[in-house]
Amino acid sequence: MKFAVLRFPGSNCDQDCLRTLRDSFGVTATAVWHKETSVADYDVIVIPGGFSFGDYLRCGAIARYSPVMTAVREAAQKGVPILGVCNGFQILCEAGLLPGALVRNRGLHFICRHVHLRLENNATPFTNLGSVGQILRIPIAHGEGCYFADEKTLDALEQDGRVAFRYCDADGAITAEANPNGSVRNIAGILNTQGNVLGLMPHPERACESRLGSDDGRLLFASLMESALHTVS
Amino acid sequence: MKEPAITPDVIAKHGITPEEFEHIRKILGRDPNFTELGVFSVMWSEHCSYKNSRPELKKFPTSGPRILVKAGEENAGVLDIGDGWAVAFKIESHNHPSAVEPFQGAATGVGGIIRDIFTMGARPIFLLDSLRFGPIENGTPDAAANRRLLAGVVSGIAHYGNCIGLPTVGGETWFDETYSGNPLVNAFCLGVLRHEEIARGAAKGVGNPVFYVGAETGRDGLAGAAFASRELTEESKEDRPAVQVGDPFREKLLLEACLELLASGAVAGIQDMGAAGLTCSTCETASRGGNGIDVDLSLVPKREDGMTPYEILLSESQERMLVIVHKGQEDRVREIFEKWDLPYADIGRVTDDGVMRIRQNGAVVAEIPAAALTDEAPVYHRKASEWTPPAPLDVATVPPMDPITALPRLLSHPTLADKRWIWEQYDHMVRNGAVVGPGSDAAVFYARECGKFLAAAVDGNSAASRKPHAILRAREPCRLGRRTTSISEIRTSRKFSVSCAIRWKAWRRPAGRSTHPSPAAMSASTMKIPQDRLTRLPWLPWLGSLRTKPTSPVRVFAAPEIPSGCSANAVRDSMLRNFCSSCTDARKAVRPRPTSPLKSFCIKPCATPSATSSFAVRMTAPKAESPQLSPNAASPEKKTSGPTLFCRMTNCVMMSHFFMKLPGASLFRLIPVMRKDSASFSPCATSLCVSLASPAAIP
């Protein structure tokens, strides 16, 4: 199983993703430079966190014009699982592969801490090993992670089960206090209509070793492997 | 553009004394022109030459069996950590710029220290910072200004560190009147590298091309080094153009490109352009290589037209490097820097005449012997002045206070309170290595490059904090220029001491009990501390035993008022520091004449960390093996009579280990600070400690 980890100028979680995939899951993971024009060789595409092009304009607004994004768009249409984490989520929104936008955190500060997430949909390639309502503890680290979309889009997301994760408290309750950045309806991660593109602000690759505080993020990568097995068979 | 004439007024404005000007004339054999005067002024500023502090700095022990690159030798020190791996680390202050423009001042402080690390060929892996601010909570205009500085500095550090992808895994922040309007901002960076990867900032190989790589040169940060060396005054705000503007994205690209270039083997020498920019990097590389350098400023990539040689040379635009490339390897530079979309230019050659020759469109605009600029900088031995330590206070005169009233007040004081607001703004988890993150005694970082755990802490003994275990004790106080520094016998913190006194009175072993009650039980019954804080509360029955020893008194100073509040973490810290203070005294009794001005204390817990483990304090002496100091500490393993200390101390494990193996390895830096409102000064010797950690010892 081959993972592509996209590398934009300014990506800074690319090494973490590569190491996690290789060392914790033993899969082949390759860094793909943003000027590449094909991602056809890969089974899963990961768009890692960081500050692509410095994020001096809107986050992800320049990265979405990188040559590799054309190939990513094609792959998305073919049903290849695409995981966008943090800046990757922002890039996917800018690229129009996911609806809505990520704006400045409610508190205007960058926030780095562990948060609790409630898994809302386990019928996806990213979450098939989990159960709905399961609580995961995964870190966030962003300054512009407040998810926003208009009511119509939000209703559609909910209706189609495309809200993958919500911020919750330790008991799984969806409360305003548990929402670290002011995201509408506590949304932490969403899916596209086909269910093969997931964007989320929390960093699952930072939660794959218990010595780092949590290994709940393993669920996402393990699910991807599980779903690949079924695709092959 | 016509250059100004060299008049006594112009000379004085450059901070050059008449005697120094005579020296310059002797070196050149003629009068310097305006450009050359500018070059001398920045290179001979305190910031670059340490002309006032060098005699003091030389007292630091700088050699040891594990030291690969000594302090002062290169851009950063390098230490062996075994298995062919090494760490490069450095701490640097960016105080004046941060006082004038907190966001950019702090951001470029972080940027500068990161460059110093990857210039050595190391992959930077984490940051620490040590901050000092004035009071922020009494509602005065000063407090409002200090809040602005605090918010600006923290977001500046976050901006740069987060964007470049380096975790800020630890640090410290203190608040004291001394720093009102004049904060201290110290940034630390550590990188890992293989021994054979150490890069040098020397212009080696006559005829080798000299490349300028990185961001274009602009007019920002003009003569910032000279600015940083001046006193901070009300008029300093007008120096805002002397503060640079940081671009972490550019630096991220520069970092990746430089490491790629270094790995290609094309580099003969590399130096970052930090303080004094192009001036410093050219003459220092030439001087270190024992060669000359000949560069043409018209080839330098520039942000704007019409810059004079003076401006180009003295600009401190950020994110730039000077790279000396092996002849014939020029294409590697082009290939790599084009890939990373970074400007680069072949601006000159290494020469054999020892002269730093600066041209503009081919015409020579400055010609100075390179070694004279770096090695012949004036050195001043300033006279020491007397410093009177504050009188120790008799503990009996401290009025007893109800601990239930006192503790919450302590807990809410900014200095003692939880610093989460600060460190949550830093991405401390990127690079997936923060095994023990901010808010602990020391950070423990798993360096995946080499598979080693590194522990690091930074600690300042500013007069405000007066942390005894970080004391840098010169044999006598000294006067650095017009700044009086008293690096002597600063023993105890008045804030700490109050908490100490309170603890003493409140937490003494209750009469009639043969064993200590569990801190948890005690706290729960009397303190009403939230449950999640219990694990962090200190317990200090050992204070009683220390009190009885005449050589190790627990000193307590008065405080004008009880500071309002503290975090349990900080109470624990203060307790340890007071304990260390006692050990200082114990050591003095044994060995009255210290062999070195530098002492470092570390705290070592027992092998198995647990909530009730006892601990040992060890002290580093520069040469001798570290003596164990306190009778309490001498054999912690044998002490089975009950909990001696209740606190999470395990993170410091490696610090002592490290110091014992690496005597004198600490890279210290003196940061004299001037009070804005008076002629009195406070020193802050910031120490840092990095060491190898054992994964088994990490909780």
The 10s digit of each residue's pLDDT in A63-113 is: 999 999 999 999 999 999 999 999 999 999 999 999 999 999 998 999 999
Chain B closest CA to A112's CA: distance in Å?
Answer: 5
* CATH number for A57: 3.40.50.880
Task: Give dist(CA B18, CA B28) in Å, integer.
Answer: 15
> How high is the pLDDT of residue B572?
39
In what side-by-side order are the strands of the sheet with B292-296? B267-272, B320-325, B209-214, B344-351, B292-296, B355-360, B363-369
- For chain B, what are the domain ranges? 1-63+200-377, 395-510+540-697
Give the lowest-confidence range in A113-117, A176-180, A215-219, B445-449. B445-449
Chain B closest CA to A218's CA: distance in Å?
Answer: 14
Report the Cα–Cα distance between both ends of chain B, in Å, rounded: 65
Return the DSSP state at A79: T
Q: Find out whether B253 and B341 touch, Cβ atoms under 8 Å.
A: yes
> How high is the pLDDT of residue B553?
25
Question: Choosing among B127, B245, B249, which should be mutated to test the A contact, i.e. which has the most A CBs within 10 A?
Answer: B249
B424 closest CB neighbour out of A16, A56, A113: A113
Task: Give dist(CA B606, CA B612) in Å, integer.
Answer: 10
Q: Is A24 on the interface with B (CB under 8 A)?
A: no
Q: Could you list the beta-strand ranges (E) of B539-680.
A: 600-605, 615-620, 669-674
Interchain CB distance below 8 Å, B698 and A53: no
Question: Does the annotation count B326 as an active-site position?
Answer: no
Sign of the Cα torsion B649, B650, B653, B655 reads negative
Residue predicted with more confidence, A198 or B613:
A198
Q: Per the structure block, which two tokens stand in for B268?
A: 């003969």
Question: Does the annotation count A230 as an active-site position?
Answer: no
Chain A closest CA to B128's CA: distance in Å?
Answer: 16
Residues of B with CB below 8 A from A51's CB? Answer: 162-163, 165, 248-249, 252
Q: How many domains does chain A have?
A: 1
3-state DSSP call for residue A117? strand
What fold does the segment set B1-63+200-377 form as a domain? Phosphoribosyl-aminoimidazole Synthetase; Chain A, domain 2 (3.90.650)
pLDDT tens, B626-685? Answer: 333 333 333 333 322 221 111 122 122 222 222 222 222 222 222 222 222 222 233 344
Alpha-helical runs (H) found in B508-629: 519-522, 531-534, 542-547, 568-590
For residue A85, which of A165, A29, A158 has the smallest C-alpha distance?
A: A165
pTM, two decimals, is: 0.77
> How high is the pLDDT of residue B404?
53
3-state DSSP call for residue B14? coil
Question: Does the annotation count A168 as an active-site position?
Answer: no
Q: Which residues of chain B have pLDDT under 50?
A: 462-686, 699
Look at the block and give the residue holding tokens 């670290």: A180
> How high is the pLDDT of residue A216?
96
Task: Give dist(CA A60, CA B567) in Å, integer.
Answer: 39
> How high is the pLDDT of residue B601?
27
Task: Give dist(CA B623, CA B625) in Å, integer.
Answer: 6
Query: Residue B194: which H helix or E strand, with range?
Result: strand B184-194
Interchain CB distance below 8 Å, B426 and A205: no
> How high is the pLDDT of residue B453?
82
> How high is the pLDDT of residue B29?
94
Give the lowest-confidence range in A119-123, A194-198, B185-189. B185-189
Q: Which residues pair with B656 in a beta bridge?
A: none
Q: Which residues pair with B326 in a beta bridge?
A: none
Domain that holds residue A52: 2-232
